[in-house]
Amino acid sequence: MHFTKKCIVILLTGLSTLFLVACGGSRNTGLDKESEAYVLSVIEITNQQFSKHMEKEASIAEVPTTTSFSLERKKLVLKVKATRDLTDKEIQNTKMALAMAAMWPQMILNEWRTTVNKEKEVVTDQFFEKLCEAKVEFFLVAENKNGDIIAEVPIPLSAYKTPLIPNNSDNPDGMKAPDTTGNLNEETEKEPHETVQMPPEKKETILDPRDGRSYEIAQIGSQIWLAENLHYMTDESYCYKDDTSYCDKYGRLYTWNAAKDACPEGWHLPSQDEFLVLIDAVGGKRVAGKMLKSLSGWNSSGNGTDAYSFSALSAGNRGLDEGYGNEGNLAIFWGSTEKYGNFAYNMYLYYNYDLADLNRDNKGYGFSVRCVKD
């Protein structure tokens, strides 16, 4: 997801206004009555604190929008809706803005707190604690003028926890908040199944009979994965910056339509569930990125331990505008599971986060491919 610094600033400014619209009454929130009344009162006060901004339209990725904030059963939705028809480029920018927001949830939280609390302390740890206890899910949703969904991204629940929330059974995930670099706090309680598997001295290989190329493989839990990015040439597959030297280094970048049939016989593009099995096998999503990332090649000392020989490379991506970006910053692997017709799931890893998680992206993007054995 090619994303500019300017866009991030505009995004965070726009998100400050996402909490302006009060719920206007709740329905099946999943909270007990006392907690529900408290949470809704905080939302109402937040609305009052931001009322002076209501005359201005919210903006996300430089697109004029209206915003709404709804709390229904187990789901907190921050919806951003365009107020005019959008160009293809604006749709891309809006989608990328939301995707980046999901990668920087703690920044969104801090922006909200800083802005609201300038006049009155409203956004408290108790507010997020009650939502966490009820296991409410957070989503950012962008819609076009006609109400069609452009993008929907989850905001990790754990990002809304602070060190003041007890690290015990009252905390659903048993974790404290990550620091601003995305690394786990030293005192974070590790998940019981988290283990470090030492890479084998020599990896096994398979041969792709279609082009004679060999690939190292790695067994992780019950699954067997390619330990290298796929490099099989198909229509709608590309070398980063259209330079073949990058293909030799990173493999090819595939649109989803190309990726779904690109794996060799006996292998396939992983489903959403298969990605989740992988993430769970290496210790859970809060540490999976560190475990799966390669030992070198990531920006700002963001390399991983490669503890399971997956050796994820920061290959970047190809955008809908046919441009390239994010080499050294991220790795995104297509999955087979579709969403909303034009979107499909993928697994992403980011250079300054230890996590690995799933996202949904337009099928026209160019991402890497890792095949899993049938």
Residue spans per domain, the chain: 5-160, 204-373
Average pLDDT, the chain: 75
d(CA 94, CA 99): 9
CB contact set of 204 (below 8 Å; sequence gap of 6+): 216, 217
pLDDT at 245 over 90: yes
Residue predicted with more confidence, 36 or 17:
36
CA dihedral 69, 72, 77, 81 (to 10 degrees): -60
- Distance of alpha carbon 26 from alpha carbon 75, whole angstroms: 11
Q: What is the pLDDT of residues 182-221, one digit of tens each?
A: 332 333 333 333 444 444 445 799 999 999 999 999 999 9
Residue 325 DSSP SS3: strand
pLDDT at 213: 95
Dihedral angle over CA of 262, 264, 270, 271, nearest 10: 70
Look at residues 366, 154, 111 and name the one whose alpha carbon lies nearest to residue 241. 366
- Tokens read off for 204: 């096994």
What is the C-alpha separation between 155 and 134, in angstroms, rounded?
A: 16
Name, in order, each residue with C-beta under 8 angstroms of 215's C-beta and a sequence gap of 6 or more: 205, 206, 208, 226, 227, 228, 230
Q: Has residue 272 got a pLDDT over 50?
A: yes
pLDDT at 206: 95
Highest mean pLDDT among 67-81, 143-157, 164-178, 204-218: 204-218
What does the pLDDT read at residue 369? 98
SS3 string, 156-186, reads CHHHHCCCCCCCCCCCCCCCCCCCCCCCCCC
Distance of CA 14 to the CA centre of its chain: 19
Predicted confidence at residue 61, as pLDDT, reads: 54
Query: Which pLDDT does position 194 carry in this prediction?
Result: 40
Confidence at residue 105, expressed as pLDDT on a 0 to 100 scale: 59
As a whole number of angstroms, the longest Cα–Cα distance in the chain is 67
Residue whose C-alpha is closest to residue 8's, from 73, 96, 118: 96
176 pLDDT exceeds 70?
no
pLDDT tens-digit series, residues 71-126? 777 777 777 788 888 888 788 777 777 776 666 555 556 556 655 665 556 666 67
In this prediction, residue 93 carries a pLDDT of 75
**pLDDT tens readout for residues 280-303:** 999 998 899 999 999 999 998 899
pTM summary value:
0.53
